[in-house]
Each structure stands twice: as C-alpha cells, then as structure tokens.
Structure 1
Amino acid sequence: MILKGGQVSSFARKPDSQTWCVLVFGDDDGVVSDTADQIIAGWAKRAGDSKTVTLDDDDIRREPHLLADNIEIASLLGELNIVRIRTSGEKIAKSILGLVEEADQRGESFANRLIIQCSGLNKRSKLRSGIEAANSAAAIHVFADTAQSLQDMVKARLAEFDVEIDTDALQDFVSLLPGHRGLANQEADKLALYGRGLGRPVSLNDVRLLCQTDADNSVRDMVQYALDGNGVSCLAEYDRISEIGTSAISILRIFEMEARRLLEARGLLGTGGDIGRKLRPPVWQSEWPAFRSRMDKWSAASLTRLLAAIHDLELKAKTEGPAAEAAIRVFLLNVIKSAAQRSRMTASP
C-alpha cells in the first residue's frame, strides 16, 4: 500500500497491527530519517516495550538469515523487535520482498516490525513496487522541506524545550537553514539549547549571533572559493578552519548544502522571479552575480557527480575519523582544478 500526506502522521500516531513493514524513501536523507523515527516511535509506544536493531546491506548479505531471524522470532521477554535497515536500493530487495510476500499469503503480520530507509527510488524499483503492491506493508515517498514545513519543524523542536521565538526571528532562522533536513535539525537543536531558560522569546539578534559564526562563514567561504576555482583563497581558508578543529563532516555537509543549492537554482532557471530568494539559504541580490557565475561553471550532471563524491567522502570520514583529513584536501584540490578548467571553457569564444 501507499501512505501519503496526513495518512503518514496518522499511522505514526496510531499504527495499525497489520502493517508490519514500512519503506520510507526520498531524495532528502534527513526527511527520510525523521519520518522513519516517527514510525518507530509509534510502534514503540503501541508496544510499550521494544528495542531497535539497525542493519545495512552488508550485514544482510553477509548473514542472509539475519533479517528473517530478527523479524520472525518473538522475544522471550515479550518486547517488540523493530528492525531498521538503511539500504542503497535493490541489493537486498529479494530478501525483504520474500518476507512481504510470505506475510501477505498468511494474511497476518510477523511478530516484529521492519522499517526500511532508502534514497530516491524510481517507479521501476522492485523494492518500491513490491511494497506498494503489498497488503501488509506500506511505502512512503517523502520530499524536501518547504519553508512552511521547516517553520513547523523548528517550532515543534523549540516547544520540546519550552522555548518561544519571535515571528521575525523564526522567519529569518528558517531562511538561513540548509535545504537538507539532517543539517536543519542540527541547527534547530542548537537554537533550542540556546533558548532554554533564556526567560524571553528568542529574538532576531539572537538568531543572527547564533547562526552566523566565524567558523561557519569560513567554511562557506572555503567551499565557494573551491567551486570558483580559486585555489589560493580556498586552501588558506582550509588551513584556518583546520587550526580551529572544524570536523571533516561539518565541511562536507556545508559543501553538500552549497552544491544542492546550485543544483536547485539550475532547476529554477527560466521560471521567472527572484531565483535567489527561492533558495535555502537565500542568495541575496548582492551575492547573486558571484553565485550565478559559479552556477554557470557547474552543469547539473557535474553537480550530481560532485554530490555523489561528497557522500562517498562523508562515509570515509565517518569510518576513518582523522585519517580522512588528507582525503578532504585532495578532494578540495580536485574541485578547484575542475572549476578552473570550467572557467577556461566558459571564457572561450
């Protein structure tokens, strides 16, 4: 089956007993993860006692019985076992769909629950089509945030800490958020911690002091220099942020945000209006000439390849820690070189 819109929040609040498997997919990994968290919380609340086991493609391919064991075998202690799988797509579709077909044929769900997280899946995907057609499983296609959904998310997170925020401060804060839910969540949590116990609503000045730090500005400058092909300035900024201990993950996430912003802007070309104001964070009029020049250097295909390289490097940074620092510098040099070549190509008659 397919769950859409309000059906998703209704299911998360009160999941039915027959739907034991849910696939959540979309291009924004942060929205996918948040939606999966809501479904898991709903199952856990209904069960009263539960535990969550996280698996990935490699775990299941290495031990094929692992998925079935965790789904089919009821806990001796009576707790609900929730299996969370992060998959890249079709690698383990056969194992998952085999269980889905078995549950449909029996007409009853398994003892435990399965949540599957995946990046965008097209309609030809066997995993997507198989779950959409099932009776005991559900597919949820999630999309990137809008300004309104981000405002709702920020207000909800602040409310958890009993933090209030002025209307203009909320609007300004949302306009500065990266267009990726995972990064936006981090910024919202930072704001919530800042506002807790403040004794007054968070103001516009608070937002600007909190969100526009020198370190963040240095990383953004470095990323933009790299995409411009300005090697001297880029590496100077990189040395500066390395000295203050900025993590590789932070660098890569801001790099991803800027690449996605360029890709989104390319998709808006020809739609009319002020494109810069439609982006998150917005590109103001004074910044537009430099942004447009950067956008002209990078095609949609090249930005897509760049995002893939960033994701690969982020995985490396997570597994190798400080050892990934050298890979970051090599990555920057490659981006600078590519941008410089593109500058010469666009300048050619």
Structure 2
Amino acid sequence: MKLEARRIEAFLRDPGTARAVLLHGDDVGLIRDRATRLVRAVAGAIDDPFRVVELERDSFSLIADEMASLSLTGGRRVVRVRDATDAATVAVQTALGGRGQGFLVLEAPGLAARGKLRTLIERAADAVAIACYPVAGRALEQTIRSTLSEFKIAVDQDALEWLSGQLGADQAVTLSEVEKLALYAGQNGRVDLPAARMCVGDLAGLSLDDALFAATSGDVPAADRALELAMAEGVAPVGVLRAALGHLQRLQRARAAMAGGMTAAEAAKAARPPVFFRREAAFVRALSLWSSAALDQACIRAWEAERACKRTGAPAETICRNAVIGLAQRGAAARRR
C-alpha cells in the first residue's frame, strides 16, 4: 500500500506489523536515510550481525530464505536490500507469501512507476511503498531554515534562495552542507549570501550544475565529464532531467527579463534562485546562444526524456545522457553559427 506523507514519520519510528517497505524515488540520500532509520527502529542497530543482513543486487534469490531465518539472539530480523529492481519481484513475492517474521527493507532509487516490484508492494496488505523525491522550492527553503534554526542560526532571504538553488537533489548532501554552514556561522549566528557562497560554493555534488551549465554553453566535453561525475556520485537519471528542466526554465525567465529591456548580464544578476558568481559568465553565454523558442523546445525535450525514463522501460541512464549531451550539442551548434 502507499503511505500518506503525514504518516511517513510515524511509520519510520515504528513500522508495526508491516513485513516489507519499498523506498523508491530520485533522492538517493533520502532513501538511504529512511532505510537506516527503519533498520534501527526494528533491530535496534544498523550493524547487528545477528539481526541485520544486507543483500546486494546479485543476491535477490536469497531474500525469501533470509526473511524466514530466525535471529540467534531473539528479536525481529531485518533484511536490507540495496539497489532493488524489478528483478527482485519474484523473490519478494515468495518472501511475503511465507511465514517468516523478518522485516524487508528495499532500497530502489529510480524504480519505474508502473514496474512489477512497486505494483506488488502497493497491492500487498502487509507491505508499504514510500516515495523519496527531492524537495524543492518552498519545501526546500523550509528544510534549510528549520535545520539552521535547530542551531539557533538565522538566514537572510537572498542566502536562502541561493542555497535552495544549489541544494536539494540529495537530502544527505543537503543536510551535510547545511550543518557545515551552521558550524561556520556559529550558535546564534546569521548566514548571509557571502557566507553561503563561501561554504557551499565548492560542493563536489554540484558537478550536476557543472554539467548543465556546460551543456547550455555548448561545451560538450565538459558536460560529458561533469555528468559522469554526477552520476557516479549517485544522482538518479530522473533527478538529472528535473534539474535540467529547472536550469532551462531559469534561462527562460532571464530571457523574458531581457525582452523587458535588461541586458544579459543584468538578467543573470537578477535570476532567481541566484546564479553562483563563478557560473555567471556561463549563464550569460547561454543567454546569447539560446532563443526563447529554442529554450521552449529544450524544455519539452527534457520533459519527454523524464517521461521516457518512467514509461518506456529503456535504460534510464542512457536516456538521461542522450538528453544532456544532446543539449550540449545544440549549444555547440549555436556557437558555430
């Protein structure tokens, strides 16, 4: 069954009699965080060798046997499966049909919406599916603000807008960077835009932004290298495509500002969320390469690529790479004109 957003926190604290949970979506950090919380809630620790077993992608066939096994020290046993895919469906169905009292945690980033595994879990009476998607907009701003407030730290609005533009693709990275920022500001301190840029500007996870800015600037090799790094860091293909759409929409708004009389440099300065100062030149260059009509078409292609990842069954990474590199190739073609 699907779990309503307002019930998720309660379930993470106490899964009750549920026998399995599927954590799916694009936020890998959030999936891992929730999986860890569930394992600890059931087994009392995440590394108890008698009560917790972890299985990788090539061990799906062991799920049913591990679920049926008893803990030597008593208590409920937890089976945690990394990178679960539809290939695990038969094994999970067998496990749920058995009498074992183990608790199954399935981590499945990027799982297709209508896939067999998700359908099985959502229809099962004793299993729960929880979506884990990146937060954005006001929800992300609230996450950043509330995290800083726990350290009794205030944040300026322009700093908050800039941070929300840099973070959010992965909750684990977001929380880590905000905590680093809190340490820099100190208790009862205040975060302004220069402090935010100083602490978060060189974040390695921003390789995704590097890929997108390189793509719209027409730099194919740089876009390819940065995209490779971003995906190696665990960014899901759908997350890349959503970030690409957001980047293109920011360029669209800047283009509209130019139609109202602003120069490209002025539009870049006025962009919301703010453009990191080291990327302003690339942003201005993109504005010179992409017309409003071309940006409209690029947004449609990004949206269609995301839909293809979810519906066609084709390899999501291939669809994602083709979309981003295609964007870079169109930018490169515009540079040659």
Is TM-score (shorter-chain normalized) higher than 0.5? yes
| C-alpha separation in 1, matches of 2:236 and 2:94 | 39
Give the one of 311, 317, 325 matched to 1:308.
317
Q: For each residue in 1:122-143, what CA deviation from the matched residue of structure 2 results, as whole angstroms up to 9, or x when unmatched? A: 5532222222221221112333
1:2-81 matched pairs, under 5 angstroms: 2-16=2-16, 18-45=17-44, 51-60=51-60, 64=61, 66-81=62-77
Secondary structure of 1:261's aligned partner: helix
Match of 1:137 among 127, 131, 142: 127
Match of 1:181 in 2: 170
For these two proteins, the number of residue pairs brought into alignment is 300
One-letter amino acid matched to 1:163: F
Task: Output the aligned Cα RMSD.
Answer: 5.0
Provide the C-alpha distance between the structure 2 equivalents of 1:214 and 1:143, rounded to a whole number of angstroms. 21
Q: Calculate percent identity across the aligned residue pairs.
A: 24
Uncovered stretches (5+) of structure 2, i.e. residues with no partner: 258-266
What per-residue deviation string (whole Å, max 9, x for no partner) do you get for residues 141-191 of structure 1?
3333133433454456557xx622213267246424333124323423432
State whether residues 175 and 280 of structure 1, in contact with CA within 8 Å, keep that contact through their aligned partners in structure 2: no
Q: How does 1:250-329 map to 2 (within 5 A)?
A: 260-264=242-246, 287=283, 290=286, 293=290, 295=295, 299-300=301-302, 308=317
Q: What is the CA deviation profile of residues 44-73 of structure 1, one whole-angstrom value per residue up to 9, with x for unaligned ones? A: 4599x775332222122xxx2x22232111
Any conservation in 1 of the 2:220–2:328 contact (CA below 8 Å)?
no
Q: Distance in 2 between matches of 1:124 and 1:250?
A: 23
Contact 1:227 1:336 in 2 (8 A): no
State whether residues 55 and 84 of structure 1, in contact with CA within 8 Å, keep that contact through their aligned partners in structure 2: yes
- In structure 2, the CA distance between the partners of 1:194 and 1:255, relative to structure 1 (3 Å rule), is farther
Letter in 1 for 2:244: L
1:167 aligns to what? 155
Does the aligned pair in 2 maintain the 1:179–1:261 contact within 8 Å? no
1:269-294 per-position Cα deviation (integer Å, ceiling 9, x unaligned):
999x98999x995559x747726839
* Aligned pairs for 1:71-220 within 5 A: 71-103=67-99, 110-122=100-112, 124-154=114-144, 157-158=147-148, 163-168=151-156, 171-172=160-161, 174-182=163-171, 183-195=173-185, 198-204=186-192, 205-213=194-202
CA distance, structure 2, for counterparts of residue 217 and residue 12 of structure 1: 29
Change (3 A) 1:79 1:94: same
Mapped to 2, the partners of 1:214 and 1:133 lie a distance apart of 41
| Aligned-partner Cα distance in 2 for 1:252–1:310 | 18
State how far apart, in whole Å, the 2-side matches of 1:82 and 1:259 are.
34
Paired with 1:186 and 1:86, the residues of 2 have a C-alpha distance of: 22
* Structure-2 change in CA distance of 1:188 and 1:274 (3 Å): farther
SS of equivalent to 1:92:
helix
8 A contact 2:216–2:331 mirrored in 1 = no
8 Å CA contact 2:215, 2:331 repeated in 1: no
Residue of structure 2 equivalent to 1:107? none
What's the CA shift for 1:111?
3.0
Q: Structure 1: any 5+ residue segments left out of the alignment?
A: 104-109, 242-246, 313-330
| Aligned-residue offset at 1:345 | 7.5
Cα distance change of structure 1 residues 158 and 43 upon mapping to structure 2, 3 Å threshold: farther
Of 321, 328, 333, the residue aligned with 1:339 is 328
Give the distance between the partners of 1:147 and 1:20, measured in 2 at CA.
Answer: 34
Aligned residue number for residue 322 of structure 1: none
Whether the 8 Å CA contact 1:178–1:280 is kept in 2: the answer is no
The structure-2 alpha-carbon separation of the partners of 1:223 and 1:267, relative to structure 1 and needing over 3 Å to count, comes to closer
TM-fit CA distance, 1:252: 5.9
1:22 Cα deviation after fit: 0.7
Q: Deviation of residue 20 (structure 1)?
A: 1.7
CA distance in 2, matches of 1:5, 1:222: 32
Deviations along 1:77-124, whole A, 9 cap, x unmatched? 125432211235211100001111335xxxxxx332111121344553
Q: Give the SS at the match of 2:32.
A: helix
How far did 1:210 drift? Answer: 0.9
Question: Does the CA-based 8 Å contact 2:148-2:154 persist in structure 1?
Answer: no
Is the 1:20–1:114 contact (alpha carbons within 8 Å) kept by the matching residues of 2?
A: yes
**TM-score, with normalisation over the residues of structure 2?**
0.66
